[in-house]
A = this chain, B = another copy of it.
Amino acid sequence: MPKPFALPVKQKVDLSTIDPKNTGTFLNKEEVEEETIKLKEEFQELQEKLNAGKNEAVLFVFQGMDCSGKDGVIKHVFSGLNPAGVSSYSFKTPTEEESLHDFLWRAHSKVPALGHITTFNRSYYEDVLITRVHELISDKEAKSRFKHINHFESLLENNHVKVVKIFLHISKEFQLEKLKSRIEDPAKNWKFDPADLMERKSWKKYRNYYEELLEKCSSASPWHVVPADHRWYRDYAVLSIAVESLRKLNLKDPEPIPELMTLLDEIK
């Protein structure tokens, strides 16, 4: 199932060829409900094995335009996991302390320990996105950062930290609807940030820089592009990718220790 979402490695990407409204073979939310329940159960079981074994870890990196549903997907897909083994970090404008370090510093400190799952809501990829749109770094510096990102992800992969990168793909119209509803609906006002309107003006630039990083930063771990105009399909797709990435780790059940039986007599 997740196969169609994984981009081919090191190849030019044209996001306009991928329909953000795509819902695969499904027509509506009801059609994925049963499967979603099954996948959620499997996700929990796999997490328990991951945590017991402590030989692997998974880092989920979520990127996407404003309103693409990064918060929502983390909430809907990762709720239900044992919080003792899952952490979530949201990367905002760097603090003063963070700005005084290399761009990977704050992300490296938050990567999952073996046995854990971590989600990044935005990430070091912002350092080759918003920084380029705002012309804070040169194209040359961006290229150098692509290289450092590939090295960083390969360091993690070598250490058995699987890096699963997901781009939530929305249309410009969808973003407009979302922004409007955040203004019109008083209950959603708190989610509205006037800066989003400014960033929207750079839609095309963001798209180009995204297409470039989706190509250049795919050597250590591939990118997934998830059509996200339909929330139900977005959540279902991400859940499928998440479960499949844990399945692939071939996690073993914790080993029984028969010698423990001899202790039974000694317990008083």
- A residues apposed to B, CB below 8 Å: 54, 97, 100-105, 108-109, 111, 113-115, 144, 148, 151-152, 154-156, 158-159, 161
Q: Using CB atoms, name the residue of chain B closest to A96.
A: B113
Partner of A155, one of B54, B97, B115, B148: B148
Task: Compute how far the CA of A114 lies from the CA of B104 in the bound complex, rounded to whole angstroms.
Answer: 14
Contact A155 B111, beta carbon cutoff 8 Å: no
A115 touching B100 in the complex, CB below 8 Å, given contacts A108-B108, A109-B108: yes
User: Given A101-B113, A104-B155, A151-B151, 7 more contacts at CB 8 Å?
Assistant: A97-B113, A100-B113, A100-B115, A101-B114, A102-B156, A148-B151, A148-B154
Q: What are 13 inter-chain pairs, A to B, with CB distance below 8 A?
A: A101-B113, A102-B111, A102-B156, A103-B159, A105-B108, A105-B109, A105-B111, A108-B108, A108-B109, A109-B109, A144-B158, A148-B158, A151-B152
Give which listed residue, B100, B102, B144, B159, contacts A101 with CB less than 8 A: B159
Question: In the complex, A148 Cα to B156 Cα: how many Å?
Answer: 10
CB within 8 A of A111: which of B101, B114, B158? Answer: B101
Closest to A105 in B: B108
Closest to A97 in B: B113
Interface centre among A54, A105, A156, A161 (most CB of B within 10 A): A105
Contacts of A105 in B (CB 8 A): 108-109, 111
Given B108, B114, B156, which contacts A100 in the complex, CB threshold below 8 Å?
Answer: B114
A51 → chain B closest CB, angstroms: 11
A152 surroundings in chain B (CB, below 8 A):
151, 155
Best-buried of A100, A115, A155, A159 by chain B (most CB within 10 Å): A155
- Residues of chain B lying within 8 A (CB to CB) of residue A54: 100
Chain B residues with CB below 8 A from A148, complex form? 151, 154-155, 158
* Chain B residue at minimal CB-CB distance from A109: B109
A97–B111 Cα distance when bound, in Å, is: 12
Contact B102 A155 (CB under 8 A): yes
Q: How distant is A17 from chain B, measured CB to nearest CB, in Å? A: 33
> Roughly how many angstroms separate A45 CA and B43 CA in the complex, as a whole number?
58
- Contact yes or no, A155 B151, CB < 8 A: yes
CB A19 to nearest CB in B, in angstroms, measures: 38
Contact B109 A158 (CB under 8 A): no
Instruction: Determine the distance from Cα of A159 to Cα of B98 in the docked complex, in whole angstroms.
Output: 12
Name the B residues within 8 Å of A144 (CB-CB): 158
